[in-house]
Amino acid sequence: MKSRDTLKINDKGHLEIGGCDAVELAREYGTPLYVMDEAYIRKVCRAFRTVIAGYPDARICFASKAFSCKAIYRIVEEEGLGADVVSGCELYTALEGGMSADRIYFHGNNKSRRELEEAVAAGVHAVVLDSFYEIGLLNEIAAAAGKKQRVLVRVNPGIDAHTHHFIQTTRVDSKFGFSVADGTAAEVIRTVSGLSGLDFAGLHCHIGSQIFELKPFELAVEKMTDFIARLAAEGITVRELNLGGGYGVTYTDEDKPLEPQRYVEAIVARLKECVRGKSIAAPTLVLEPGRSIVGEAGVTLYTVGAVKDIKNVKKYISVDGGMFDNPRYALYQAKYEAVAASRMNDKPVCTVTVAGKCCESGDMLVVDAKLPEMNSGDILAVLTTGAYNYSMASHYNRNAVPPVVLVNGGRSAYMVRPESYEKICELDDCPPWLRRA
């Protein structure tokens, strides 16, 4: 386990998160339970802000897709961050959480008319254009509202970031962005620059997720500034350069990410060099970390139920959660570390597979986990579940999405309250011909 001041073993031999005993949290709030470490979230936000201050004009925006609820926007807004959103409800949640609209970027490769109308009405800082379809649509909406909407154009610089192909976003064959290489990106920017309802402000790219090396980010800076220089030669000014996020975090001991701020340091240094070397105006730098802010801040607690030992084959430890609270193993065999939260000082003596309770053979949470002998009723913790777990959770098998509890300095309280059977069924209805008298 990658321990820190707010993630450690306490004197009871239990896992402690944000000064709170994990076993006591499980007892008070039930399991499965997402737990988020507020102090760690704020620490990472501040590290990013400190590093980016070394660039003349820069901002950090939290990538909402990693984890979206009102309280997280309140936290990152207090730490001086903006946000990027990818749906109408993410925008609504950010605004409800206190995020200023002028600090929000609206992303997405297929935004609906309603979402674009909501973005314009709210006054978001920028809409990031990612399809031909939305260019004319947004221009029409902005003109009808009597506004000139600031936009960035998402481009694909063609960088292979060596991650799982589902989370690579700038391969030539990608649903995201306009290609720089084939001239499409430049064509789109010329079109956008000539529309009365749109204000072309700059470029956006995102090269992928869970990247451990600095080189892909440095290469992105080089390619994007080359493109900026080409546009400048045509008289087109790029005022903002948004380089997305994608900084890696630790899921298991196999992962060797750098400290989050190291990625930003490398980007800032290379951008300064490129601006000088290519004699271009320094654009405002925007970065959008998500996983690196909340990923390691999250821990999911489960209660062990059935233990199934198939002699000479495999031992399964079943818990009261599963792919409905964490689908990432089922989606792309994501790896996690599990620990015995209620018996942290016991030595691991067996290799087990942690299985979920869903009616799917692929419903696994951790494969080949090294754990003490686990018994029914023990509390199990899966680490680094703060990003994409709650966001991707579902009601599969009509299971409730677990609540989220925020911990800090020994205090705990809900960020997201628990669901009841009634709440899950609240939107169900029966057509008139099925209703009983």
Catalytic residue among 61, 359, 425, 430: 359
How far apart CA 211 and CA 120 sit, in angstroms, is 33
Active site residue 359: yes
In one-letter notation, the amino acid at residue 128 is V
- Strands 379-383 and 338-340 turn out to be antiparallel
Alpha helices in 339-419 (DSSP H): 389-392
User: Which H or E run contains 407?
Assistant: strand 404-408
DSSP 149-191: EEEEEEEE------S-GGGB--SSS-SSSEESTTSHHHHHHHH
Tell me how far the alpha carbon of residue 366 is from its chain's centroid.
Answer: 20
Residue 265 has, within 13 A of its CA and on its CB side, a CA count of 8
How far apart CA 30 and CA 63 sit, in angstroms, is 29
Question: For residues 307 and 374, is the Cβ–Cβ distance under 8 A?
Answer: yes
**What token pair was written down for 327?**
């689908």
How far apart CA 47 and CA 227 sit, in angstroms, is 30
Q: Report the SS3 class of residue 412.
A: strand
Among residues 378, 370, 355, the alpha carbon closest in space to that of 23 is found at: 378
How far apart CA 274 and CA 27 sit, in angstroms, is 55
Catalytic residues: 359
